[in-house]
Amino acid sequence: MDKIQTCPKPVRCPFALALILVLGACRKTETPSQARPPTVVSFVAVAAERVERTTEFPGRIVPTREAQVRGRATGILQKRLFEEGSNVQEGQVLFEIDPAPLQAGLDAAKAATARADATLKMSKATADRYKELVPINAISKQVYDQAVAALGQNEAELLASRAAAQTAELNLGYARVTAPISGRIGKAMVTEGALVSATEATLLAVIRQLDPVYFDFTQSSADLLRLRKAFASGSLQGADRGKAGVTLILEDGTPYSHPGTLLFSDISVDPTTGMVTLRATIPNPENLLLPGVFLRARIVEGVNTNALTIPQRTITRGTAGTSTVLVLGPDNKVELRGIEIDRTVGTQVVVARGLKAGERVVVEGSQKAPPGSVVNPVPFVPAASGTPMPGSPTN
């Protein structure tokens, strides 16, 4: 039986080793080592813009005029001549008080006036007659002096009677209670048949003028001091107080359609709270704003004509309240930069310190571009203004 010849083990191993070396050499020749391309990141340039400095304040709606309708004559209330919650005009009759007792008082005062007038005429005639008798000694000088004194007393009584009659006539007029101002009237505080007292000045209703209305709010004295320093340094230009815009934010978060005007700030600081009271006037043609409601107002305090702004999405906030951004150097090298934020305006933030106009801040691709790395920067294109950059990285 023939034996199968096999290659001895010492002879086969050198061939296998040579084959491995040849294949390794071929592999190195076919795929030479190449450097990894830089990461693509998008950036925005820090721009200097004109930004209005706005602040929101909570406050309360207050009517521009408010009048309490009170009874000025005593009597029984007979009629209510208005609809509760309606608009009334100045001088409109609102209530009628029973005029009969008041008319009787006026008639009595007129009668007393007539009696005093007749007495005065009689005393005047007596005085004139005595005046002619004194020179011929028909009467004594004392009797004539008494007649003259009686004449003066009767003249005073006539004046008093006329004043009493005028007062009675005014009281009769007060039986018709009229509106002291134009505005919206609330509910009636008394009903027909109730006794109205002039001495207690019975409250009958309240009228409030609702177009326009006031918006009263407060600002801390520290904020006022900070604003004054900003104005003095020139970093902030003061808004015209006569034209300063005030926009109310309604309870559902929507802005009120009618802008208001800032009127004044108080000249004193409340010692208990350290706040200064401010007031704005707001148009209210639809009577949508009701007195007593709490709202927020956005006030334009000043204008920064050289504010440095960047998108909010470029900022990374630390646990200690610090804010940092990634800045591209001239050689496209990424640098971690700490910044100080002044305020937020929409989707932008105003940078107080840490950046200069024209510097490039990374928007997208920051996760693949650590500080110290060199990147390939391209301008950032918002999704709303154009198509996304092909191959652009995302955070």
pLDDT at site 7: 45
Sort residue 393 into left (φ over 0), alpha (ψ -120 to 50) or beta.
beta
Domains of the chain with bracketed CATH? 41-51+306-379 (2.40.420.20), 53-63+210-304 (2.40.30.170), 99-174 (1.10.287.470)
365 in Cβ contact with 392 (< 8 Å):
yes
Using the predicted structure, report yes or no on whether residue 241 has a pLDDT greater than 60: no
pLDDT digits (tens, 9 = 90+) for 345-386: 778 888 888 888 888 999 888 888 888 888 888 998 876 544
Matching residue, tokens 């309606």? 86
**pLDDT band per the 50, 70, 90 thresholds, residue 57:** confident
Please report the pLDDT score of residue 175 as a whole number. Answer: 92
Name the residue with tokens 């400095």.
Answer: 53
Reported as a pLDDT band with limits 50, 70 and 90, residue 204 is: very high
Pair of tokens at residue 100:
């009969």
What is the number of other CB atoms lying within 10 angstroms of the CB of residue 269? 14
Q: What's the rounded Cα separation, in Å, for the pair 345 and 255?
A: 16
According to the model, what pLDDT value does residue 34 have?
Answer: 53
pLDDT tier at 39 (50, 70, 90 boundaries)? confident
Instruction: Give the contacts of 378 (CB within 8 A, at least 6 positions apart).
Output: 40, 41, 42, 43, 389, 392
pLDDT at 136 over 50: yes
Distances 249 to 229, 241, 246, 346 between C-alpha atoms, Å:
28, 20, 10, 15
% of the chain residues with pLDDT over 90? 33
Pull the structure tokens for residue 306: 């050289």
How far apart, in whole angstroms, are the C-alpha atoms of residue 335 and residue 43?
A: 13
**Which residue matches tokens 């200069």?**
356
Highest mean pLDDT among 258-267, 294-303, 364-373: 364-373
pLDDT per residue over 145-193, tens digit each? 898 999 999 999 999 999 999 999 999 999 999 999 999 999 999 999 9
DSSP 333-357: BEEEEEEEEEEEETTEEEEEES--T
321 with 299: CB under 8 angstroms?
A: no
Strand partners, 46: none
Q: Mean of the pLDDT values across residues 81-103?
A: 93
Query: What's the mean pLDDT when you consider all of the chain?
Result: 81
> Please, which residues bridge with residue 28 across strands?
none
The 3-state DSSP class for residue 14 equals helix
pLDDT at 18: 46
Q: What DSSP designation does 82 have?
A: S
Yes or no: say if 184 and 258 are a contact pair by the CB < 8 Å rule: no
Least confident of 140-144, 212-216, 383-387: 383-387
Q: What's the pLDDT band for 230 if we cut at 50, 70, 90?
A: low
Percent of the chain with pLDDT over 70: 82
pLDDT tens-digit series, residues 325-343 = 899 988 888 888 888 888 7
246/258 Cα distance (integer angstroms): 9
pLDDT grade for 207, boundaries at 50, 70 and 90: very high
Per-residue pLDDT at 80 exceeds 90: yes
Token digits of residue 68: 């309490």
